[in-house]
Amino acid sequence: MAEQRDTIRFVRRGRIVELRDVAPTATLLDYLRLEERATGTKEGCGEGDCGACTVAIGRSRGGQVAYEPINACIQLLGQIDGAEVVTVEDLAGAGGLHPIQAAMVEKHASQCGFCTPGFVMSLFTLWQQTDGPVDRTTINDAIAGNLCRCTGYRPIVEAALAASAEPREDGFRRASADTAGILDFLADDRDVFIGDEGRFFAAPASVRSLAALYLAHPDATLVAGATDVGLWVTKQLRDLPKVIHLGRVRGMDVIEDTGRELLIGATATYARAFPHVAAIDADLGELFRRIGSTQVRASGTIGGNVANGSPIGDTPPALIALGATVALRRGDRERAMALEDFFIAYGKQNRGAGEFVSGLLVPKLAPGQVFRCYKVTKRFDQDISSVMGAFRFTLDGSGTITEARIAYGGMAATPRRAKAAEAALVGTAVGDSAAWSVALAALRQDFAPIDDHRASGHYRAETAHALLGKALLEAAGAPTVHTRVVGRREEHRHAAE
């Protein structure tokens, strides 16, 4: 049996904090506000939407500390083991306000002030992650997960522009190597287990330990980023007596490019995976840019998005269209299956008791393959899809479609392929509008979407129909400046050049 410890350890203000009494569902926000009385971090929506609770989490990477923003309201306290936690109270030093704070004051960027600490922390992490001036688009992406109820975004963006134009110098950068050394010291190989057999928080350090623990406790809740499970705690008020956190499992966050495919570990976050998936196709990069917010992408994982089996998850339709394979493990036994076969029914996946998703194999595009994906939501940033459509067409030298993979989310109880529409397209010319009509009609045989609070069944059917038509137009060569308002592929190509 692997060696264990019954504490979590993290860094606060240069000191190591060690906690033994950690409840399975205790949140970082409650710890900060109720135990530390660090009330600068605000409690707003309680679901990771408004950003008022944003804090920075620092982890050692290459001998320096890399900071990312997270929503403390849905981050379980145990998840921060081995990290540095920075709150808005920590930014000002002996010399005065932090450059981000000073710019916020100078530009009159604080209105009622409730949201201000969250904005400051989001911009603090952007400031730490970059060197030199940052453009407005990058800033807008960085604060997309922060809600200003006074609608005062303009001065906030101006503050970020002003601060980024100045040299990067603060106490965190000066102490980065020393802090990284402390974090490296905390990164031991012991499994964390706090509690007893009936109620515990656990964070295994190896895949073998995870497999053994989950096999012994198949009723436990697996947590990777907690961007979904966190809401079970804060919104559904569910009691989760057994929680197994996957974030300390060595090697489970690996991303490996073999040249022909990507191997993505189950705990790889959206943020870490972004450059790799964006290299497969610009549409895939645009999709990942619109998943949640910077806070959500820093914590949320691709494996978690697949494993929770949501019919409206953003990544499964795109991965299914690409022909992805999911890897699973139960005890010492491993198996793999096509991702489309993993989803059985609403809330039910093709995995047994004690079996977990360990990774994904995502093929890259081969010569002659065209990929498109579209996310349709009520608002552009940080919203759940009403309909998600993904398409991969394989064309031969004459422009004939030799294979079609069409997958949708939000159209059924699970993410699913449109096999009747696919069959109607195979063997036809990519520019044959008559064949398109047959495929579009066949699509109505594939799905009978329901009405819910996000969209009506009629809207979903019409939207899915339109997305397939758009994908076929673009595959036939129509420039996206004619088919899209945002996310135009020509912009990505010119940026790459």
- What are the pLDDT digits (tens) for 388-423? 999 999 999 999 999 999 999 999 999 999 999 999
Q: Set out the domains of the chain in order of their start, with CATH numbers.
A: 4-89+177-245 (3.10.20.30), 99-169 (1.10.150.120), 255-363 (3.30.465.10), 369-496 (3.30.390.50)
Mean pLDDT of 174-193: 96
Mean pLDDT of 121-150: 96
Q: Residue 487's pLDDT band (boundaries 50, 70, 90)?
A: confident
Is residue 312 predicted with pLDDT exceeding 90?
no
Cα(463)–Cα(268) distance, rounded to whole angstroms?
A: 31
| Per-residue pLDDT, 453 | 83
Q: 36-45, 89-98, 154-163, 188-197: which range is least confident on average?
A: 89-98
| Per-residue pLDDT, 357 | 97
Mean pLDDT of 4-33: 97
Tens-place pLDDT, residues 209-234: 999 999 999 999 999 999 999 999 99
Mean pLDDT of 320-331: 98
Q: How many Å separate Cα 296 from the centre of its chain? A: 5
Cα(135)–Cα(364) distance, rounded to whole angstroms?
A: 31
Q: What pTM does this model have?
A: 0.94
Average pLDDT of the chain to the nearest whole number: 95
| Per-residue pLDDT, 381 | 85
Q: How many Å separate Cα 405 from the centre of its chain? A: 24
Share of the chain above pLDDT 70, in %: 99
- The size of the chain, in residues, is 497
Mean pLDDT of 304-317: 90
Mean pLDDT of 172-198: 96
Is residue 1 predicted with pLDDT exceeding 60?
no
Question: What are 84's strand-pairing partners?
Answer: 11, 58
| Per-residue pLDDT, 47 | 93
> Which residues make Cβ contacts (< 8 Å) with residue 377, sequence separation at least 6?
290, 383, 384, 385, 386
Is residue 2 predicted with pLDDT exceeding 80?
no
Is residue 497 predicted with pLDDT exceeding 60?
no
Is residue 469 predicted with pLDDT exceeding 60?
yes
Closest by CA to 279, choosing from 391, 359, 405, 371, is 371
Q: Residue 94's pLDDT band (boundaries 50, 70, 90)?
A: confident
Mean pLDDT of 14-34: 97
Mean pLDDT of 67-95: 96
- In this structure, the dihedral spanned by the alpha carbons of residues 414, 247, 206 and 215, taken in order and rounded to 10 degrees, is -40
Give the pair of three-digit tokens for residue 130. Answer: 């970059």
Tens-place pLDDT, residues 347-396: 889 999 999 999 999 999 999 999 999 999 988 888 889 999 999 999 99
379 neighbors 327 (Cβ within 8 angstroms): no
Mean pLDDT of 456-481: 95
267 half-sphere exposure, CB direction, 13 A CA radius: 24
Q: How many Å separate Cα 47 from the centre of its chain? A: 14
Mean pLDDT of 149-163: 94
Closest by CA to 418, choosing from 449, 387, 443, 385, is 443
349 neighbors 307 (Cβ within 8 angstroms): yes
Q: Residue 494's pLDDT band (boundaries 50, 70, 90)?
A: low
Give the pair of three-digit tokens for residue 315. Answer: 């990544």
Mean pLDDT of 40-64: 96
Is residue 496 predicted with pLDDT exceeding 80?
no
| Per-residue pLDDT, 490 | 84
| Per-residue pLDDT, 111 | 87
Tens-place pLDDT, residues 266-282: 999 999 999 999 999 99
Strand pairing class (242-245; 4-5) = unpaired
Question: What are 374's strand-pairing partners?
Answer: 389
Share of the chain above pLDDT 90, in %: 91
78 half-sphere exposure, CB direction, 13 A CA radius: 32
| Per-residue pLDDT, 347 | 83
Is residue 95 predicted with pLDDT exceeding 90?
no
> Which residues make Cβ contacts (< 8 Å) with residue 224, sequence separation at least 6?
245, 246, 247, 266, 267, 300, 301, 303, 304, 307
Cα(166)–Cα(159) distance, rounded to whole angstroms?
A: 11
